Structure 1
Amino acid sequence: MDLLHRALLTAVGALSLFYALVKISLGYWKRRGILHEKPKFFWGNIKGVVGGKRHLQDALQVIYAKYKGRAPFVGFFACLKPFVLVLDLELVRHILVTHAGNFTTRGLYSNDGSEPLSGNLLQLDGHKWRALHAQSTGVFTPANINKLLPRIVLISRGVQRSLGKERLQTLNINELVDSYNLDVVASMAFGLSADHTEFRLWTQSYWGKFSLWRAYLALEFPLLAQLLNHKSYAVSAMAYFQKVVLGQLQEQRRRDRQPLQTFLQLYSNMDQPLDDVQIAAQAFGFVLAGLVPLNATLSFCLHELARQPELQDRVRAEIRKTLEQHSGQLTTEGLKELLYTKQVLNETLRLHTPYPFLLRRATKEFELPGSVFVIARGNNVLIPTAAIHRDPAIYEEPLRFDPDRFETEAKRTRPAMSFLPFGDGLRGCIAAQFVEQELLVGLVTLLQYHRYTPCSKTAIPLEYDNGRLLLMPKTGIHLNVERVDN
């Protein structure tokens, strides 16, 4: 009985300590006197998100709509972790552009000592990121991106061949666009030119036995995670990606005067080139940051166009006219002339924003000019891009798909920082021009000879996968695909 009594006392003591720590953590914004949504015990403001009952975007949208206009930011809790949830576009501009030097880190977990491929531009912070970013700016120049266009166009022809000449078929659009984007990443970032079957398998399994809680603890206690040698990705997958890049770089150096076709060439030809493992980390960054959101964007775009055939016909007419004016070739100048196609792409990125939020961490205390509001050093900052993109005060009838929102005059009427699919400023997407080029080439390829319409398996309205942080379709997007040669 004495042993049982001690065990009960120990359990009660542990639970009491845990309860006290939770209450202290969830009292952070109250102690600072910052307006905030009252958090639920342990879950903070994301109850239902971890279990998949609702998407994180929904939780952010509710708080954004409730508090916008009452303060430039409010306190927000992801479980026990406090965040600054930004509500004011002027504050967004300060964080991303004007005072970006105060917010140079994202606060993502990286341990490039034991997990070298985590040393990519997305994950790194501090002086390592600054040095890598300075070196990488010479890779992603407009001139270099334009030189890579012929290779992307060549890859895109494989999509048209896969569609074949069958008059009418029902396809899983996610698989169709995944084939295109995966070929682009395999070829352009990893230098692969043969069968991509093995590469595809590893891009689908590199997370290994992913645990949301382990990832959360790594973000919350990064020093402890490094001491425990926590790894974010499957060791075997990282070994595969690294081996591919190192092998391709060796092969590349055996050949002379080869035409520019890949980012491996660009990175290895820099004035101050990275070492081979660092180049492998940047190649992995294309898989980590780009593959899933690009697949989702093209899938969402075709879904929206299938539901509005008049918009789809207008895009197709523009594509065919532009190609005819350029002798059937898709050129850099031709891409610039696809004005309406780009409007459709931007409207897709607005309505179905792949990254529904941006993360920053304050490296210095920041006082919002002309106010008493202060973001303390070390505060994690969350900018709810998807909520901004669906703000009815900025975009009338925000849930309606309307590419005319991105006509030149319409864009001039909107405030700065109201469209942020690639972020902005110092830590905006360095590959934004390449991403846009890849998406536009994909749309040209998919729409030039084919019409997309809903079928019996088309989910209307679309639902997002609540188990993912990014906005992705819950199920495959199935559409009828009809060949239209004339």
Structure 2
Amino acid sequence: MLFWIWCVVLVAALVLYLRQKYSRFSACGVKYLSPVPLLGNLTRMLFRIDHFSDQILRLYNAYPNERFVGRFEFLSPIVIVNDFELIKMITVKDFEYFLDHRSMIDEKCEPFLGRNLFSLKGQEWKDMRSTLSPAFTSLKMKLMVPFMVEVGNRMIETLKKKIKQSKTRYLDMDCKELTTRYANDVIASCAFGIKIDSMVDENNEFYQMGREASSFNFRQLVLFFLSQNFPKIMQFLKIEIFKEVTKKFFKQIVMGTMNEREAKQIVRPDLIHLLMEAKKGSDAGFATVEESNVGKRNVDRVWADDDLAAQAFVFFIAGFEGISSLMCFTLYELALNPNIQKKLFAEIMENEIKNNGKFDYTSIQSMVYLDMVISEVLRLWSPGVALDRICNKDYNIGKANEKCDKDYIIRKGEGVMIPVWGIHRNPEFHPDPLKFDPERFSEENKHKIKPWTYIPFGIGPRNCIGSRFALCEVKVMLYQLLQHIEVSPCDKTVIPVKLSTDTFNLKMKGGHWLRMKLRQ
């Protein structure tokens, strides 16, 4: 009898605890989707029913007139901000309240990976951002374009050979393989100073480790959410998100390259060189206007080896998965929209004639239609489904709607998200949002895009530091590929797109299959 009494007491206590936890939004009149006890609003993701983007879009569309709405990750309340004035306040004007990202990787669990630029907080983040910014100036991009072109030439040569050897004179392939191998080789060259040909040497260790590190499979997805919401439990259990062999490989690559260059006095304009300068405590300043909001300053901090290796690692993951995904969806949309592909090809050939068969950073940046195409891909298939911040001191965000009689206070340690996927697919801001239409970004139309409704690389001082590199790499790859290859749908092409729910990444269910054919 005593046992059953205690069971009833414990159940009653749990019910009261959950009721108190899940009344966080309702107490202030904030709309939210009903949570499942203990799991919150993660149920459909954890059971692989929805992709993260599906949930963001559903929540965004459920309450279109609210300034902000609520979401629960397990027991943690997350505020989803829809109102553009609030977005501006959080990301720019009141930035110091929301200086940091939520911890995707806890440095106490993963001391190597938890020290990357995305995870660093407060003054350490400011110092590291200031240290890395010189690697991403226009001047540095100009120096890196030849490395990208070299990788692209090898890719085209291999593709031509495979197509000519095929009986059909075309090649049906999962273009995700193509874009990840290209991105892998570009990152290896531009960041690590290593020459790799993943199109020929398909099982090279650098590529295999890259796939392992950036797959973000279901296990890693769950661990990410647990790390964000229950960091102390993760610390106690000493659960690591990435395999030790992967971390060891990249650390050895970074430190080994640094040591070799120092011994042989090798200077190469890439990320490794910048990290070597940072290790010496060299001064660095901000590269873009947006970053001046934080304040330009000289950094006299001397970074540890793990700190420097962590920056190279996160840069690799972003380049391997994020950029390859952008390339993949660009090829997909061009295959399904042959008129757009034809117009882009015409601009490429016009540029070829104008520059006598050569192209560089300056000429490729002047290609208006190419920029329009990439901009539209970033709108429709933005790799950043949502922007996240964590509140570092209590913040009064005001009332969720006119009917509320109580302000909502975001408490220190609670999360905030900006639903990029929902904003980019809102017909009020982007008419016929599921249509792939580069003309939205033409000189005649781009003024119609309202401020804060197009944010593929984030907003404010904590925007994506590698956006200039990403855009440059995608443009170079697309230029070289379309110059020689025509892409079209094949029997295996998935129409319409359904995103795979077994990963956090943007990955098509059924593969990214397209047909590659040599141009006449």
TM-score w.r.t. the length of structure 1 is 0.92
Amino acid in the other structure paired with 2:517: E
**Compared with structure 1, are the counterparts of its residues 234 and 383 closer, same or farther at alpha carbon in structure 2 (3 Å cutoff)?**
same
1:190-339 matched pairs, under 5 angstroms: 190-194=192-196, 197-206=204-213, 210-256=219-265, 258-260=267-269, 262-270=270-278, 271-272=282-283, 274-339=303-368
Question: What is the percent sequence identity of the aligned residues?
Answer: 28
> Distance between the aligned counterparts of 1:153 and 1:373, measured in 2?
54
Amino acid in the other structure paired with 1:376: I
Q: What is the SS of the residue equivalent to 1:48?
A: helix
Residue equivalent to 1:150: 146
Residue equivalent to 1:173: 175
Residue equivalent to 1:80: 75
Q: What is the SS of the residue equivalent to 2:152?
A: helix
Shift of 1:455: 0.9
Shift of 1:172: 1.5
**Compared with structure 1, are the counterparts of its residues 210 and 26 closer, same or farther at alpha carbon in structure 2 (3 Å cutoff)?**
same
> Distance between the aligned counterparts of 1:12 and 1:445, measured in 2?
69
Q: Which 10-residue stretch deviates more, 106-115 or 291-300? A: 106-115
Shift of 1:111: 4.0
Residue equivalent to 1:185: 187
Q: What is the SS of the residue equivalent to 2:227?
A: helix
Q: Deviations over 1:382-434 (max 9, x none)?
A: 11101100000001100101000111332212221111111121111011100
Residue equivalent to 1:458: 493
Report the aligned-residue RMSD: 2.4
Residue equivalent to 1:354: 383
Residue equivalent to 2:289: none
Residue equivalent to 1:55: 51
> Distance between the aligned counterparts of 1:178 and 1:94, measured in 2?
37
Amino acid in the other structure paired with 1:178: T
Amino acid in the other structure paired with 2:424: H
**Compared with structure 1, are the counterparts of its residues 17 and 234 closer, same or farther at alpha carbon in structure 2 (3 Å cutoff)?**
farther
> Distance between the aligned counterparts of 1:103 and 1:134, measured in 2?
18
**Compared with structure 1, are the counterparts of its residues 8 and 368 closer, same or farther at alpha carbon in structure 2 (3 Å cutoff)?**
closer
2:42/2:72 contact within 8 Å kept: yes
> Distance between the aligned counterparts of 2:447 and 2:74, measured in 1?
39
Amino acid in the other structure paired with 2:181: S
Amino acid in the other structure paired with 1:340: Y
> Distance between the aligned counterparts of 1:292 and 1:62, measured in 2?
25
Query: Is residue 515 of structure 2 the alignment partner of residue 480 of structure 1?
Result: yes
Residue equivalent to 1:445: 480
Q: What is the SS of the residue equivalent to 2:259?
A: helix
Q: What is the SS of the residue equivalent to 2:69?
A: strand
**Compared with structure 1, are the counterparts of its residues 135 and 374 closer, same or farther at alpha carbon in structure 2 (3 Å cutoff)?**
farther
Shift of 1:346: 1.2
Shift of 1:136: 1.7
Residue equivalent to 2:437: 402
Residue equivalent to 2:294: none
Q: Which 10-residue stretch deviates more, 113-122 or 454-463? A: 113-122
1:110/1:124 contact within 8 Å kept: no
**Compared with structure 1, are the counterparts of its residues 263 and 57 closer, same or farther at alpha carbon in structure 2 (3 Å cutoff)?**
same
Residue equivalent to 2:467: 432
2:185/2:197 contact within 8 Å kept: no
> Distance between the aligned counterparts of 1:276 and 1:329, measured in 2?
40
> Distance between the aligned counterparts of 1:258 and 1:138, measured in 2?
16
Q: Which 10-residue stretch deviates more, 429-438 or 476-485? A: 476-485
Shift of 1:125: 1.8
2:28/2:407 contact within 8 Å kept: no
Q: Which 10-residue stretch deviates more, 202-211 or 132-141? A: 202-211
Q: Which 10-residue stretch deviates more, 301-310 or 461-470? A: 461-470
Shift of 1:282: 0.8
1:107/1:125 contact within 8 Å kept: no
**Compared with structure 1, are the counterparts of its residues 236 and 12 closer, same or farther at alpha carbon in structure 2 (3 Å cutoff)?**
farther
2:175/2:514 contact within 8 Å kept: yes
Shift of 1:211: 4.7
Q: Which 10-residue stretch deviates more, 366-375 or 269-278? A: 366-375
TM-score w.r.t. the length of structure 2 is 0.86
Amino acid in the other structure paired with 1:342: D
Residue equivalent to 1:97: 92
2:132/2:274 contact within 8 Å kept: no
Q: Deviations over 1:217-246 (max 9, x none)?
A: 321132443354442211111011101111
> Distance between the aligned counterparts of 1:208 and 1:275, measured in 2?
30
Shift of 1:185: 1.5
**Compared with structure 1, are the counterparts of its residues 6 and 282 closer, same or farther at alpha carbon in structure 2 (3 Å cutoff)?**
same
1:367/1:375 contact within 8 Å kept: yes
Q: What is the SS of the residue equivalent to 2:517?
A: strand
**Compared with structure 1, are the counterparts of its residues 240 and 129 closer, same or farther at alpha carbon in structure 2 (3 Å cutoff)?**
same
2:221/2:504 contact within 8 Å kept: no
> Distance between the aligned counterparts of 2:179 and 2:267, measured in 1?
29
**Compared with structure 1, are the counterparts of its residues 108 and 290 closer, same or farther at alpha carbon in structure 2 (3 Å cutoff)?**
farther
Q: Which 10-residue stretch deviates more, 316-325 or 236-245? A: 316-325
Shift of 1:301: 1.1
1:249/1:276 contact within 8 Å kept: no
1:139/1:267 contact within 8 Å kept: no
Q: What is the SS of the residue equivalent to 1:355?
A: coil
Amino acid in the other structure paired with 1:247: G
2:175/2:328 contact within 8 Å kept: yes
Q: Which 10-residue stretch deviates more, 91-100 or 235-244? A: 91-100
> Distance between the aligned counterparts of 2:433 and 2:27, measured in 1?
36
Q: What is the SS of the residue equivalent to 1:429?
A: coil
Q: Which 10-residue stretch deviates more, 459-468 or 108-117? A: 108-117
> Distance between the aligned counterparts of 1:342 and 1:352, measured in 2?
15
Residue equivalent to 2:26: 30
Number of residue pairs matched by the alignment: 479
Residue equivalent to 2:448: 413
Q: Which 10-residue stretch deviates more, 24-33 or 106-115? A: 106-115
2:73/2:229 contact within 8 Å kept: no
Q: Deviations over 1:232-263 (max 9, x none)?
A: 21111101110111111111113336442x21
Q: Deviations over 1:173-192 (max 9, x none)?
A: 11111110011122222222
Q: Deviations over 1:39-79 (max 9, x none)?
A: 3333333431211112222222122122122x311122223
